[in-house]
A = this chain, B = another copy of it.
Amino acid sequence: MAKVRAAIVGATGYTGAEVLRLLLGHPGAEVGLLTSREPGAPIAETYRHLAGLCELRLDPFDPDRVAERADVAFVGLPHHAAMEAVSPLYERGMRVIDLSADFRLRSVETYRRWYGEHFAPALLAQAAYGLPEIFREEVRQSRLVATPGCYPTSVILPLAPLLRDGLVAPGGIVADCKSGVSGAGRGLTQDTHYTEVEGGLRAYKVTAHRHQPEMEEVLARVTGADVRLLFTAHLVPMKRGILSTVYADALPGADLARVRASLERAYGGEPFVKVLPAGTWPDTAHVCGSNYVHLGAAFDAERGKVVLLCALDNLVKGAAGAAVQCMNLVFGLDERAGLCAAPLFP
C-alpha cells in the first residue's frame, strides 16, 4: 500500500518537530513537506538531533503546494495562525490534523471569550475532537481533527468514565495539573529561561487558563452533565510530562473497587491507556517519549473524595502522538502504527 504523504505546517515548533520525529519512524507514512514562517534552511539546522536523519528544507506555506504534495497536513501553529492555515487546506479537500486550540471547542462564544474572534466558525462543527479513546468513530469519519490540549487529555481521560458511571459528582471538581516546560513551546520568554525555571516550581494563570473551558465543555458533551471544574496549571523543572491530580466528590455507592472497575472497563482494551495496579501511582518518567497514559485512583471514604492520577507525555499523547494516532484512524491504518515505542526510562 502506498504510504500516506504528510506535510507539517509549522515544523519548527516543538509539536511540529515531534510529529516529524514520530513520522520518521512510522511504517505507513512519510513526510514530504515542512513549512515555516522562516523558510530556506534544512530542518536539521534548527534541530541538530536530526543531523543525517532528515534532509528536508523548510518551505514557505502555500496551500496549493501542500495539497499537491501531501494527503494530510499536520498544523502545528499557534491559535489564530492555525485557523488561517486550516481553512484553505480543508477547502482543497485535504485531511487536516490541527494541534492548536482553534477547533477544539464547539461553542464559538466560549472560543471568543478565551481566545478572541474565530474566523472559520463553520468549520467548528466539522472538527472531530482528537481523543480516540472517547471519540474514535468521529475521528475516523472526519476530515478535520483537532487534537486536545495537553492538560485536557490528562483530565478528561480519568474523569470521563467515572462521570458516565455516576461515581463522582459533576460539580466541585479540582484538577491540579503539573507540566514540564516543553508545554510552553520553543519561543523565548523570561519564564522559560533556564535559570528562572530550574530548581523552582510555580503555578501560573491561576483560575484563568484556557484549557479549563475545554475540559468543562468536552466533559459536559461526554456525560450530559453540567461539569464544573477548577483547573490549576503548574510549571515543573523537567522537559516533558504532565501529571494531573484530580479530586472529585464521590457519589453514593462509590468505593475504590468500583472506581477502578470503571477505569478498567473504559480502558482495558485501549492500546495506549494503562490502569496501574492498585496502590501504585503514575510517574511522568514512566511514559516519557511515548504515547502511553498511566492512570491511578485512590478513594478517601472518610472525606468522600476520589483522587485520580494521570501521567502522559505532553508532546506525545498530549500533542503529536495523539495527532498521529488520529491520522492512523483517518486513513484506516493500524491505530498503533508508529506509536508503539516503549517509554524512555531512565
Residues of chain A at the chain B interface (Cβ within 8 Å): 14, 17, 21, 24-25, 47-53, 172, 174, 176, 178, 180-182, 186, 188-190, 192-204, 206-207, 228-230, 232, 234, 236-241, 243, 245, 247, 249, 274, 276, 280-290, 292, 294, 296, 298-300, 302-303, 305, 307, 309, 311, 340-346
Q: How many copies does the complex hold?
A: 4
Give the chain B neighbours of A240 by CB distance below 8 A.
199, 346
Q: Which of A189, A239, A247 has the most CB of B within 10 A?
A: A239
- What chain B residues lie within 8 Å of A188 (beta carbons)? 188-190, 193
Q: List 11 A-B contacts (CB under 8 A).
A: A24-B342, A49-B290, A49-B342, A51-B292, A188-B193, A192-B193, A199-B199, A201-B243, A201-B284, A203-B245, A207-B298
- The reply to whether A232 and B245 contact each other, CB–CB distance below 8 Å, is yes
Q: Which residue of B lies closest to A270 (CB)?
A: B52
- Looking at the complex, which one of B24, B49, B200, B345 makes contact with A47 (CB distance below 8 Å)? B345
Most B CB atoms within 10 A — which of A281, A296, A342, A344?
A: A344
A227 vs chain B, min Cβ distance (A): 11
* B182, A49: Cβ atoms closer than 8 Å: no
CB pair A202–B243 under 8 Å, yes or no, is yes
Indicate if the CB atoms of A342 and B181 lie closer than 8 Å. Answer: no
A264 to chain B minimum Cβ distance, whole angstroms, is: 12
Q: Which residue from chain B places its CB closest to the CB of A304 in the assembled complex?
A: B172
Q: Which of B204, B234, B238 contacts A200 (CB 8 A)?
A: B238
Q: Please indicate the chain B residues that have their CB under 8 angstroms from the CB of A282 in the complex.
A: 202-203
Contact check, A346 vs B196: say whether CB atoms are below 8 A apart. yes
Asked if A194 contacts B202 (CB within 8 A), the reply is no
- Excluding A17-B345, A199-B288, A230-B303, 14 further A-B contacts by CB distance (< 8 Å) are A21-B342, A47-B345, A49-B287, A53-B342, A192-B195, A198-B198, A199-B239, A200-B286, A202-B282, A202-B311, A203-B243, A203-B245, A203-B281, A240-B346
